[in-house]
Amino acid sequence: MKSQQPQQRPPSPTSQPIHTLIFCFLVFGFGMAIGTTLVNSFPNNRYFSFSIGPRTTTRIQSSASSTIAPPLPPPPAASPMESHHNPASSCVHHMEDEELLWRASMVPRVRKYPFKLVPKIAFMFLTKGPLPLSPLWEKFFHGYEGRYSIYVHPHPSYNQSFPKNSVFHGRRIPSKEVKWGEFSMLEAERRLLASALLDFSNQRFVLLSESCIPLYNFSTVYSYLINSDRTYVEAYDLPGPVGRGRYSPRMKRHIALSQWRKGSQWFQMDRRLAIEVVSDGKYINLFRRFCKNSCYGDEHYLPTLVSIGFWGRNSNRSLTWVDWSRGGPHPATFGRAQVSVELLERLRSSRTCEYNGRRSNVCFLFARKFSPESLNRLLAVAPKLMKFS
Ligand X SMILES: *[C@@H]1O[C@H](CO)[C@@H](O)[C@H](O)[C@H]1NC(C)=O
Quick one: which segment of 54-62, 75-83, 112-120, 232-240 binds ligand X (CB under 6 A)?
232-240
Quick one: which segment of 3-11, 117-125, 211-219, 325-333 binds ligand X (CB under 6 A)?
211-219
220 is a site residue for ligand X (CB under 6 A): yes
The residue among 200 and 296 lying less far from ligand X, judged by its C-beta, is: 296
The correct pick among 3, 63, 159, 293 for binding ligand X (CB under 6 A) is 159
Instruction: For the CB of residue 33, give the shortest distance to ligand X in the complex, in Å.
Output: 46
Quick one: which segment of 10-18, 113-121, 229-237, 372-380 binds ligand X (CB under 6 A)?
229-237
The residue among 52 and 362 lying less far from ligand X, judged by its C-beta, is: 362
387 is a site residue for ligand X (CB under 6 A): yes
- 3-class DSSP string for the chain: CCCCHHHHCCCCCCHHHHHHHHHHHHHHHHHHHHHHHHHHHCHHHHHHHHHHCHHHHCCCCCCCCCCCCCCCCCCCCCCCCHHHHCCCCCCCCCCCHHHHHHHHCCCCCCCCCCCCCCCEEEEEEECCCCCCCHHHHHHHHCCCCCCEEEEEECCCCCCCCCCCCCCCCCCECCCCCCCCCCHHHHHHHHHHHHHHHCCCCEEEEEEEECCCEECCCHHHHHHHHHCCCCEECCCECCCCCCCHHHCCHHHCCCCCHHHCCECCCCCEEEHHHHHHHHHCCHHHHHHHHHCCCCCCHHHCHHHHHHHHHCCCCECCCCCEECCCCCCCCCCCCECHHHCCHHHHHHHHHCCCEEECCEEECCCCCEECCECHHHHHHHHHHHHHHCCCC
The correct pick among 45, 279, 316, 318 for binding ligand X (CB under 6 A) is 316
259 is a site residue for ligand X (CB under 6 A): no
Quick one: which segment of 27-35, 55-63, 212-220, 274-282 binds ligand X (CB under 6 A)?
212-220
Encoded amino acid at 301, one letter: Y
Instruction: For the CB of residue 53, give the shortest distance to ligand X in the complex, in Å.
Output: 33
The residue among 219 and 360 lying less far from ligand X, judged by its C-beta, is: 219
236 is a site residue for ligand X (CB under 6 A): yes
Instruction: For the CB of residue 263, give the shortest distance to ligand X in the complex, in Å.
Output: 8
324 is a site residue for ligand X (CB under 6 A): no
155 is a site residue for ligand X (CB under 6 A): no
The residue among 4 and 157 lying less far from ligand X, judged by its C-beta, is: 157
Q: How many residues bind ligand X (CB under 6 A)?
A: 12
216 is a site residue for ligand X (CB under 6 A): yes
Q: Which residues bind ligand X (CB under 6 A)?
A: 157, 159, 216-217, 219-220, 234-236, 316, 387, 389
